[in-house]
Every structure is written in C-alpha cells, then in structure tokens.
Amino acid sequence: MGDAVTNGFTEKFYGSTDGLRLYARNYQPTGGDTDRLPVVCLPGLTRNARDFHELALILSHDAAFPRRVMALDYRGRGLSDRDDSKANYNLAVECGDVIAGCAAFGIDRAIFIGTSRGGLILHLVAAIKPELLAGVILNDIGPVIEPAGLMAIRDYLNRDRKPRSWSEAVDILKENHGAAFPALGLPDWEGMAHAIYREQNGVPVADYDPAIAEQLKTIDFINPLPDLWSQFESLRSTPLLVIKGETSNLLSRETMDEMAKRHPGMVQTLAQGQGHAPLLHLGDIPTVIRTFISELG
C-alpha cells in the first residue's frame, strides 16, 4: 500500500455480489477532499486500472479543478479475483460489479470514462441506473462494434507468441498495433507494456484470465453483431463526449454520425495518430477531457 501511495493513489478492494474480491485505485485530489464530482474510469476488455494512471494523475492534480479519480479492475483482470464461472465474464455481470463498486466507495453520482468494453458497460449503466451518470466519456466505442475491429482484437489476443522479456513485450505490441499508433514513441510503448503485462517469475505475462480472450473465438461473425442503440437512447439527457481513434477500425465514422443525430449535444474529438483504443494522456486529449468535465461540477 505504501508503494502505491507514492505513485499518487491508494489501493482499494471491494466485494462483488457473488463474493469475489475486486480491485480499484483511488486517486485523491490535490488538497484533499473536494465537493467536485469524482471521475470513475472503466478499462477495455482485457485491460485494467493501470491504463488510466497518467490521466488520473492529470485530473487529480489539476491546478484549477482537482478531483477524485477511481479506476477499476473488472473480475478476471489485474488484481481482481478471477471467476471460476467463466460465463460471468459478460457485460451484465461486469455492469453489476461497477455499480457495486460505486456503492462501496460512496459514489452516488460521477463522471464516467469508458474505454471500449468500459463504454459498453456504461450503455447498460445508463439503462439500469442512470442517476449514477453525471457525464459520460466514451473512448473509441459506441453502440455499434465494427466486425473487422473485433476480429482484429480476437486475433491478436489469441496469438501464440508470448514475451520472454520486457523489451520483447514492447516489440510484440508494436508488431500488433504500430501501424495504427504512429503517434506513440518508445516511452509510450513501454508504458503500455507495463499496463498490459505483469511480471511473473521474471517474465511479463498478460494480466487477465485467458478465458476472456477465448470467448472471442466463439463469436459468429457471419451474422450481424448485436447493437446497443436502445441503451444508447438512455444517454440522451446525459452530457456525452466521444473520443475516436483516428485510425480505429472498431468505431466507424458512420456510427459516430448516427450517435450525434440521436444525441444532439454530443461532443466529439479525434485522437490523432492513434487507433483502438487511444491512450487518453497523449496529445490534446487531456485538455479536451478537462474542459468537458469542468463544466459538469
């Protein structure tokens, strides 16, 4: 815990309704408690709270509007327990875990940032418990997932090549994502590697239950993927910012345009030189996020 505090956050654990021990990071605002709305960060499919570390420091130490930031590890990811029942790795169960986490940490209203899977979960939260959402930021995700993007995720998560060192972990990430992320430099790739992998017996290993990647193999790509347009309608009265990766193949321009038609107040921005899913601490994205959340309280 002491080591965590020196890095700007404290480690928290809470219980799921079915008895798992789930993990979160708590970044306290500079100067202590504040009455500003907290920010809750939800990561992607196989990702974890470490993805948001740099952004959480920016927001919690903001000179004008510092605020509390919570970043969650879903079940089966990061420091949260893995689930013996692999069928529980689904949006509905993970939505319940997010709601339980907010209750455990005394959060009855917040601004939520959802990257990829996290954004899908927020569609369900909007339909089930809309009073939690003071504002929503969707990071390269919407109610429609492009099959090509999801197939690409399926393929790279299930590749056999595993890193034998941290430098090899960086090489693998660059092989998988380099073409889509020209904006990233070596420190960014190294940071991504340490967010995705953890060290075990001196070797980097992917920090999630392999059953989550296995699930993608069962998706039927012959038929259209289900969409979340009906749940998106629940976001119509919620302030909404959508960030699209410039080279992303998961969130299409057509879906973005339809989202804007259905939510006329939607703010949108492009993460230059990034694909799926953009790193939120790079370029002008932190400024866009700070401007958006500063108007929400």
Per-residue pLDDT of the chain (297 residues; tens, 9 = 90+): 333 445 889 999 999 999 999 999 999 998 877 789 999 999 999 999 999 999 999 999 999 999 999 999 999 999 999 999 999 999 999 999 999 999 999 999 999 999 999 999 999 999 999 999 999 999 999 999 999 999 999 999 998 789 999 999 999 999 999 999 999 999 999 999 999 999 999 999 999 999 999 999 999 999 999 999 999 999 999 999 999 999 999 999 999 999 999 999 999 999 999 999 999 999 999 999 999 999 998
Region of residue 109 (left: phi > 0; alpha: psi -120 to 50; beta: else): beta
Per residue in 52-74, pLDDT (tens digit) is 999 999 999 999 999 999 999 99
Distance from C-alpha of 34 to C-alpha of 66, rounded to nearest angstrom: 8
Q: pLDDT value at position 6?
A: 55
- Within 10 Å of residue 150's Cβ, how many Cβ atoms? 18
Residue 19: both structure tokens together: 């008895």
Residue 128: both structure tokens together: 């089930």
Q: pLDDT value at position 4?
A: 41
Distance from C-alpha of 207 to C-alpha of 79, rounded to nearest angstrom: 8
Q: pLDDT value at position 7?
A: 83
**2-147+226-294: what CATH class?**
alpha beta
Look-up of token digits 């959508």? 242
- Within 10 Å of residue 162's Cβ, how many Cβ atoms? 13
Q: What is the CA radius of gyration of the chain?
A: 18
The angle at the Cα of 223, spanning 220 to 228, to the nearest 5 degrees, equals: 95
Tell me if 289 sits within 8 A of 242, measured CB to CB: no
Residue 7: burial class (beta carbons within 10 Å; 0-12, 13-18, 19+): exposed
Per residue in 6-24, pLDDT (tens digit) is 588 999 999 999 999 999 9
- Burial track 82-106 (b if 16+ CB lie within 10 A, e otherwise): ebeeeebbeeebbbbbbbbbbeebe
Q: pLDDT value at position 1?
A: 33
Tell me the pLDDT of the chain averaged across its residues: 95
Q: Strands, E, within 154-247: which ranges?
A: 197-200, 203-206, 240-245
> What residue ranges do the domains of the chain occupy?
2-147+226-294
